[in-house]
């Protein structure tokens, strides 16, 4: 399976992550719905690098809707919240 490294995010006015980005990659940005679909359909693996270690981004079934977070088996911290945020003016 092809891996995609996420280095940045874009957030909405409420601070919720809406796009997953890597400015040097052709596929960036991908919105959360696209990333959830990519992971669930086994098209791509998405990951972040934390302290030199690859940490996968996983789909979590919440009580209301699905969401994305870093692999809870590797760490209790969700490292997506710590990624640098890109300006919301960038568009596909």
pTM for the full predicted model: 0.85
Please give the Cα distance from 75 to 51 (Å, whole number).
Answer: 12
CB 56 within 8 A of CB 69: no
Nearest to 56 by CA among 66, 43, 47: 47
Residue 73 pLDDT grade (very low, low, confident, very high; cuts 50, 70, 90): low
**Mean pLDDT calculated for residue range 2-6:** 97
């Amino acid at each position: 399976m092809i891996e995609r490294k996420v280095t940045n995010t874009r957030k909405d006015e409420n601070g919720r992550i809406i796009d997953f980005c890597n400015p040097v990659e052709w596929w960036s940005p991908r919105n959360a719905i696209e990333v959830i679909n990519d992971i669930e359909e086994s098209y791509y693996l998405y990951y972040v690098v934390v302290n030199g270690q690859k940490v996968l981004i996983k789909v979590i079934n919440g009580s209301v809707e699905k969401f994305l977070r870093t692999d809870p088996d590797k760490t209790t911290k969700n490292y997506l919240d710590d990624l640098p945020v890109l300006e919301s003016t960038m568009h596909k």
